[in-house]
Structure 1
């Protein structure tokens, strides 16, 4: 994850591994690699030592919610819509109140709500999220998220 040192990455990984809820995308592991890559530096190509870390989450075959709300042919019925809304609310409640240290997804949108084969919603994409110790309060005026 860009901008995180090893300690921060491990802390975020451990928090996400502990997040166990039916409406949260399950983290199953991570990959870590160090290798040389050819990159352009100062107008010339050089080989640089590059460290890469990738979080691995469960696969959800239903895809993302945005596919269903932008495609008229999908025709979600009221029961399914309610199930999705309730599941997202339950997942958010768990992240905010059910975790030892609350997790706040800062880029919640239909593209980051994934659906399983039974249309159960799961909140995913924690790339823009904050882990807050329960004893800390943060105030920010910085605007972040995915632009429209």
Structure 2
């Protein structure tokens, strides 16, 4: 832009069922979503032009609508770029920060005045800025609801990405806040155990899978694996397994997840305070 700011422009494919009113409504959703872990909408472009096309051998006039949205540019690419069959190549501190960022962004969406369900949460839709701060993007499938409750969609309207959709949506087309929670669990497992980790955990008893993931990270971190880091690893994989429960009523809410992650930080702060005071007393 003229002020030197880099932005990303996303051109929307023309779709006959999206009318002007629907487009404006989607923009209104994006424009009121403002959070440090949500990709920021900068503006939008909308243009209608008349063109002449050939129809059954005759020239006819037709309207062509061009739409594009302008978003903050995320220099770090997507989380998908960091994932492979093995656990995430980033160090644990960055992985843990990304997990917390995703949870904070989702917590915001689920707790705004009119809750928003993302409905297509996956690594490709989690973008990273130059400082590796994770932000949720691509609300193409998001829906605005008046309350945190369950909705039923028509089977012909089913949309999403295979592997990240919960069983109640696949089997009964149910949409609730627990849809995004299931997707979150799959993403955390992929960060911690690799892309194939989710499919492996399905055939492994939970305690055994948790032990396996913790051991793998302990081997990677070796001497730097403090008891505090060990607790972070264990807590995250335990949360992830709860998120992918087949029974959605057994999955935690995003508020409970954020609170559990915050408790780890509170314990560390308390420990530092205790150690500082102990050193002061001994001196």
TM-score (norm 2): 0.46
Higher helix share: 2
RMSD: 2.7
Instruction: Call closer, same or farther: CA 1:84–1:100 in 2, change over 3 Å.
Output: same
Task: Please state if 1:108 is matched with 2:129.
Answer: no
Q: Is the 8 A contact 2:115 2:148 kept in 1?
A: no
Residue 37 of structure 1: how far off its partner (Å)? 4.4
Q: Distance in 2 between matches of 1:69 and 1:43?
A: 51
Gaps of 5+ in 1: none
Indicate how the Cα distance of structure 1 residues 126 and 37 shifts in structure 2: closer, same or farther if over 3 A, else same.
farther
SS at structure 1 position matched to 2:135: strand
Question: 3-state SS of the aligned residue for 1:70?
Answer: coil
Q: Secondary structure at the match of 1:63?
A: coil
Q: CA deviation at 1:130?
A: 0.8
2: distance between equivalents of 1:43 and 1:66? 47
Larger RCO (CA within 8 A; separation ≥ 6): 1
User: Which of the pair is proportionally richer in strand?
Assistant: 1
Which sits farther off after the overlay, 14-23 or 112-121? 14-23
CA deviations over 1:85-123 (Å, ceiling 9, x no partner): 1110110110011x2221111111100100001111000
Q: Residue 89 of structure 1 aligns with which residue?
A: 103
Counterparts in 2 of 1:44 and 1:118: CA distance versus 1, 3 Å: farther
| Deviation beyond 4 Å, 4+ runs, structure 1 | 37-47
Secondary structure, aligned partner of 1:4: coil
Contact 1:12 1:131 in 2 (8 A): no
1:1-148 matched pairs, under 5 angstroms: 2=15, 3-37=17-51, 41-42=55-56, 47-70=61-84, 75-97=89-111, 99-134=112-147, 138-140=151-153, 142=155, 143-147=158-162
Structure of greater Rg: 2
Q: Distance in 2 between matches of 1:90 and 1:53?
A: 30
Runs of at least 5 residues in structure 2 that lack an aligned partner in the other structure: 1-11, 164-283
